[in-house]
Amino acid sequence: MALINVAAMKKPSILVLYTGGTIGMMKDPRTGSLVPFDFGNIYEHMPILRNLDYVIDFYSFENLIDSSNMTPEFWIELAEKIEENYEKYDGFVVLHGSDTMAYSASALSFMLENLAKPVVFTGSQLPMGMVRSDGRENFVTSIEIAASKINGEPCVPEVCIFFENQLLRGNRATKFNAENFNAFSSGNYPPLAEVGIKIKYNREFIGYKNKTAGVTTPKKLIVHKKFDRNVGILKLFPGITLDFVKHALHTPGLKGVIMETFGSGNAPTSEWFLDELADAIRKGLIIYNVTQCKSGSVEMGRYETSLNLDKIGVISGYDITTESALAKMMYLLGEGFTRSNVKKYLQESLRGEMTV
């Protein structure tokens, strides 16, 4: 008698976490306005889901939000839901507004240390309940990706973003288009998968070695749940004033600043500007140099305009995105590492977020 391998027959199981945003909206036929979708009736709205033959469960957060209202507290709720259900499901799909999706995906990548299952963020430009919506395709493909395995192992054990036809590493992605279905780019890291009639996984680019800060970690999932919000972003521009820089750097309680510089990490060479930065660094502020360009890396010392930044103790963010830099700084400061360790880890790749 042939033996039946029960484990191999088990249907893939996916937990869909709905946080809010356009994707989960549909037009109320009575009023014409957009209202949140009732995921309890999802199979009625999307019978095609039955063809997947997966176990798909849904969890809707009580406080559904437009992602412009996203907060670190919400990131913690989201990570806790994944933690609670981690053993039960093969993968997770997070339905999230696209506006701040790159921040949330970055934050979750730092929170979920030793992640070994897919966490796929997706959303849409048009609500799922509209005729030409990109939401249905994004949703179904994300579920497929979250469930896909090769040799019994998940294809993409990472926090990632799926949009239109590309799967991107979450902490490398940026929303670059407010209207097109193709809304996200990843200027410094190749797509993890490209989707046409087949889903083609770029296996050599998938999977990062988790590296946390000073500890040899066991393989078990570790969820970090602390963020320090005493950070800021200072975007440089021609004509920036002393007053503006001074006020920004003297924000009460401020511990870290992401300084968005020009090109390969360049900034004005004016004495007043460098003095302000140097003074803030002396007083303990961490200044992290991230380029305004969507592709390419900070290279301090390449031009005279970045040489002095290096000398006064500004640290390099290499090719990290602003979204990822912000989440990383909040996470490292939240974990309570010493200032010198925060600076050290900011310059190392912890979750594949930068090329050093």
Q: Which residues are catalytic?
A: 22
Place of tokens 């809304």: 183
Tell me how far, at minimum, the Cβ of 66 lies from ligand ASP, in Å. 4
Q: Rounded to 5, what percent of the chain is helix, strand, coil? A: 35, 20, 45
- The contact pattern for ligand ASP, residues 78-117, with x = CB under 6 A and - = no contact, is -------------------xxx------------------
Q: Which of 14, 17, 18, 22 touches ligand ASP by CB under 6 A?
A: 22
- The contact pattern for ligand ASP, residues 61-80, with x = CB under 6 A and - = no contact, is -----xxx------------
Q: Are 285 and 249 in contact (CB under 8 A)?
A: yes
Summary count for the chain: helices (H), strands (E):
10, 20
127 binds ligand ASP (CB under 6 A): no
Tell me how far, at minimum, the Cβ of 168 lies from ligand ASP, in Å. 16
Q: Residue 330: enclosing H or E segment and its boundaries? A: helix 322-334
* Closest among 172, 157, 161 to 115, alpha carbons compared: 157
Tell me how far, at minimum, the Cβ of 345 lies from ligand ASP, in Å. 29
Q: CA 162 to CA 212: how far, in whole Å?
A: 26
Given the complex with ligand ASP, which of 93 and 333 has the nearer CB atom? Answer: 93
Q: How far apart are the first and last CA of the chain?
A: 56
Tell me how far, at minimum, the Cβ of 55 lies from ligand ASP, in Å. 27
Burial of 196 per CB tally in 10 Å (0-12, 13-18, 19+): exposed
Round the CA-based radius of gyration of the chain to a whole number and report it: 22
Given the complex with ligand ASP, which of 99 and 323 has the nearer CB atom? Answer: 99
123 binds ligand ASP (CB under 6 A): yes
Given the complex with ligand ASP, which of 67 and 306 has the nearer CB atom? Answer: 67
* Binding stretches for ligand ASP (CB under 6 A): 21-22, 66-68, 97-99, 123
